[in-house]
């Protein structure tokens, strides 16, 4: 099923294209204009050109320094800067200029703030919905330490989709995530969202290649369905640097495809599974699904 650890030469199916294209240049210039950050660049996402060309982008708010230190993540860790009070409006203006069909708003963790940045996050969502009423908004949130009040703040801003990533299977969670995060807490966050507003689509993601078994993947997927998660993505973990946790296996495209079939049987409304898939990969593919739900 998986390539052995001793042969960790990146296989042919993991060759990445250099970002390019007219829309790529346009988005990059607007990011610089408004001093914004995108997880597409901060996390070295391999799909940046494809997403930006298709009218999708993932904007990272509240700075580019995270208060946590997960062992898989390429985002800088340290003491975050003060929040930019004008950022929510700047984000909305940028999205309006890009004429995006679908936007994902995510953030670094801000454990340094009293509300962990939940109100700033919610304000950004409200600004986007006001300035860009035709844009579908997905918020990919941190766990906010499991605080239901902070999660409610996001839910009340009424994004179309709220995502929160469990990242890996339960057995490996403590080895790759910051000690302040944990598997059960992440499931609780996703459960709380549905309890607060069942109309909101929920989403989560798993990285593969960290030493997990197929049974563990399926168990994690079932755990997500048990808290009514609607959308799931599976992708290959790729080590950003020698300082990060190493890749244990490269999962073949065929295995990813079989997992997609297996997960669809569990009842997810939408499944993305492949080597280059990230939590926001082809996020706009669910637009029709979301539009039908909104118009009911």
- What pLDDT shows up at residue 80? 92
Lowest mean pLDDT among 111-120, 223-232, 271-280: 271-280
| Residue 100 · residue 55 · CB < 8 Å | yes
Backbone angles phi, psi at 130, to 5 degrees: -75, -45
pTM of the model: 0.87
Q: Give the model confidence (pLDDT) of 27-49 as tens digits.
A: 667 666 777 776 555 545 555 55
- What pLDDT shows up at residue 44? 53
Q: Give the model confidence (pLDDT) of 47-78 as tens digits.
A: 555 555 555 678 899 998 999 999 998 888 99
262-274 burial code (b ≥16 CB/10 A, e <16): ebeeeebebbbbb
Q: Give the model confidence (pLDDT) of 96-116 as tens digits.
A: 988 888 899 999 999 999 999
Q: Give the model confidence (pLDDT) of 111-162 as tens digits.
A: 999 999 999 999 999 999 999 999 999 999 999 999 999 999 999 999 999 9
- Whether residue 18 is predicted with pLDDT greater than 60 in this model: the reply is no
For residue 255, the SS3 value is: helix
Taking alpha carbons only, the member of 138, 237, 142 closest to residue 180 is 142
- What pLDDT shows up at residue 98? 83
- What pLDDT shows up at residue 211? 96
Where do the structural domains in the chain lie, given as residue ranges?
5-294
- Whether residue 244 is predicted with pLDDT greater than 70 in this model: the reply is yes
In this structure, which topology does domain 5-294 adopt according to CATH?
TIM Barrel (3.20.20)
Q: What is d(CA 29, CA 289) in angstroms, rounded to the nearest whole number? A: 32
Count the Cβ atoms, other than its own, within 10 Å of residue 18.
5
For residue 242, the SS3 value is: coil
- What pLDDT shows up at residue 35? 72
Q: Which conformational region is residue 44 in: left (phi greater than 0), alpha (psi within -120 to 50 degrees), or beta?
A: left
- What pLDDT shows up at residue 168? 97
| DSSP label at residue 103 | E
Tokens of 64: 């580019």
Q: What is d(CA 190, CA 187) in angstroms, rounded to the nearest whole number? A: 5
- Greater pLDDT, 270 or 281: 270
């Amino acid at each position: 099923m998986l390539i052995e650890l001793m042969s960790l030469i990146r296989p042919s199916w993991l060759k990445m294209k250099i970002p390019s294209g007219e829309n790529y240049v346009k988005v990059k210039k607007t990011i610089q204009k408004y001093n914004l950050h995108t997880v597409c660049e901060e996390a070295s996402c391999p799909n940046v050109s494809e997403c930006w060309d298709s009218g999708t982008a993932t904007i990272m708010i509240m700075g580019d320094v995270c208060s946590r230190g997960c062992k898989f993540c390429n985002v800088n860790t340290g003491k975050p800067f003060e929040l930019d009070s004008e950022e929510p409006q700047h984000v909305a203006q940028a999205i309006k200029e890009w004429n995006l069909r679908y936007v994902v708003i995510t953030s670094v963790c801000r454990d340094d703030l009293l509300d962990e940045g939940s109100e700033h996050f919610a304000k950004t969502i409200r600004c986007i919905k006001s300035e860009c009423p035709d844009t579908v908004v997905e918020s990919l949130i941190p766990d906010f330490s499991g605080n239901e009040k902070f999660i409610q703040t996001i839910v009340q801003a009424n994004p179309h989709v709220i995502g929160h990533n469990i990242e890996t299977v339960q057995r490996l969670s403590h080895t790759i995530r910051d000690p302040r995060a944990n598997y059960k807490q992440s499931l609780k966050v996703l459960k709380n969202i549905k309890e607060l507003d069942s109309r909101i689509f929920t989403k989560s993601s798993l990285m593969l290649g960290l030493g997990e078994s197929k049974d563990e993947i399926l168990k994690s997927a079932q755990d997500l369905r048990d808290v009514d998660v609607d959308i799931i993505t599976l992708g290959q973990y790729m080590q950003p640097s020698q300082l990060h946790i190493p890749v244990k296996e490269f999962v073949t495209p065929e295995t990813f495809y079989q997992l997609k079939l297996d997960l669809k049987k569990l009842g997810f409304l939408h499944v993305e599974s492949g080597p280059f898939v990230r939590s926001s990969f082809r996020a706009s593919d669910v637009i029709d699904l979301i539009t039908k739900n909104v118009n009911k």
